[in-house]
Amino acid sequence: MIENHHNFAWKEQLADGTEVMVHRKGATRAGKLS
């Protein structure tokens, strides 16, 4: 069984080192999860 949610939120680090919460609506993350 495969389950794929439509909306995602996760922490990311900007180039200046600031941590932010990112919400992407209707997107599937392609990068490696940490």
pLDDT in the model for residue 14: 94
Q: How many residues does the chain have?
A: 34
Q: How confident is the model at residue 29 (pLDDT cuts 50, 70, 90)?
A: low
pLDDT of residue 25: 78
Contact between residue 12 and residue 23 where contact means Cβ atoms under 8 Å apart = no
Share of the chain above pLDDT 90, in %: 32
Region 6-23 average pLDDT: 89
pLDDT, averaged across the chain: 79
23, 10 contact by CB (below 8 A): no
Amino acid at 24: R
Section 30-34 average pLDDT: 65
Write the DSSP string, 1-34. Answer: -----SEEEEEEE-TTS-EEEEEEET----SPP-
